[in-house]
Structure 1
Amino acid sequence: MAYSFSQLLNRLSFRQLQVFITVYQLRGYSKAAEKLGLTQPAVSSQIRHLEQVLEQPLFEYIGKKLYVTSAGEQVAGFVKSMFADLEDMQSTLSEMTGSVSGILDLAAVSTAQYVVPHLLVGFLRQYPRVRVKLTVVNRSKAIAILDENLNDLVIMGMVPEDRLLSVMPFLDNELIPVVHAGHVLAGQPIVKHEDFFLLPMLVREPGSGTRHAVEAFCSEQKISINPLMELGSNAAVKHGVLAGLGVAVMPRLSVQLELEKGILHQLSMDGFPLRRSWNTVYPRNKHLSPAAEAFLSYIELNIPSIKEHFENLYKI
């Protein structure tokens, strides 16, 4: 039976549409449940109810893979447009009242987790009604987030060049060679590349931006490296260096306290620090939430003071 428009309004809910568009974007019930904080049966129930109201199947499984039906594609287009209009309404009303609220959904590569808190302090002081959700990932996952248009913004260093993205550089990311304080190289005023890179190296996992930058440098210099161990976080690499397992190239901010305390030592080596930019990144045609727009505006207006803040942190 076909429902009239008024009946449709009575039977539909924004929650159903939110669940639908999340399943559509992530192509999976369990992934949508995790993102929305629901159980998988609850997601399935919402989709089933929506399909009953619309009298159309929206998704179908072929084997173990979820596919969107032609009706589902049509519904997705209308729902995206509807949600974009709602965001415009929220933004307009927020501007009228002089406030911005809502959730700022950020993803940051693991090395940027040391940067983001410093950005948020001033931002949240200016926009106290904004709530922040921060997901820490490696570079390959960050690229997947951009491809799937999941979070509001991604903060990353090495931005893929083969995608249509809006990119705003805002801070240098310095990568430095480090050894433990008692290492034989720690007493040398200048260290040669071959003396450092032939040592057992502690490296991040494939897909890490830091590893990518180091491998690119070594390739340019025609230097071979000697990876001893792959580790899944900067904290693990740092503690490996502290324990004397090997040497590493690390983001300066991730070892700042250890450098200040004198338990790690930064080597002086030609070509270092490697300098990359931290960037805010999002798909070029993405419709940003008011909170995301406010965050971008805050960073853009405060780039000089942000740089000064981190330069002061770098002083040892």
Structure 2
Amino acid sequence: MQNFDNAAVSTQLAHVRIVMVNTTLPANIGSALRAMKTMGLSKLVLVAPKTYPHPDIDALAAGATDLIEQIEIVSSLEEAIADCHLVFGTSARSRTIPWPLLDVRPAANLAMQAISEKNQEVAIVFGREDRGLTNEELALANYHLTIPVNTDYGVLNVAQAIQIVCYEMRMAILEHSTTASAQQEQAMPVTAEEQMQWDEPLVTQQQMQQFYPHMQQMLADIEFFDPENPRLLPLRLRRLFGRIQLDRMEYHLLRGVFTRVQALSNGTWKKSTHREDQN
């Protein structure tokens, strides 16, 4: 068995948060903490839990009670993921509109790549015990994550699902660490493209929640769509930009375009006598 630097692994996994939405049973919170600690994760965010605190949380945490003190309680999913760059919404159901869907293993690999290469914050969102996440909540995610279970009996409770996801996250970072070490030992040359680092930080979910209303209002102002009957357009646009992951410069560029289009549409824009610096 290989030995790994637990401190280094924990540092990477500290970028991953587990988010539980409207959890009904306190025992599931305790079981989730135990599952997380077993795999080296420590950050749990609860969105408006039905019952908290509760003795069952301490009882089911069994050795992971130190993580209870680190739990963050928020009132909305938007608040829970505000500073995250990459969000996975767990879902086992088909949706009206297709969304980028990943099995848990490739999702974990994508998450670890985002953490290792871009130092991103990642959230894995789990829904209610009886009905999971709503379509509106799933629309806040960049990807939908699913666990490939037995189709004849695909039953997992939320704590079991969290255990599987935490395991895959740990395995992904261990595999990434092993691969990186092997590459360093071999001293293989890399291309300029592989060495290139992104020059701008990626925007957070909080910034994107300001971006989408601005874009939709701009489209309504130019009568591109009817805000009273938007159909699936807003959801498709969320899917598009969630998949792209804008950086800070792209974000401000597009919002500047939206503002200019709105001003042109309502006749309030006055052409400057000097050319604006577009760089």
TM-score by length of 2: 0.27
Q: Which protein is bigger by CA-based radius of gyration?
A: 1
More strand by share: 1
TM-score by length of 1: 0.25
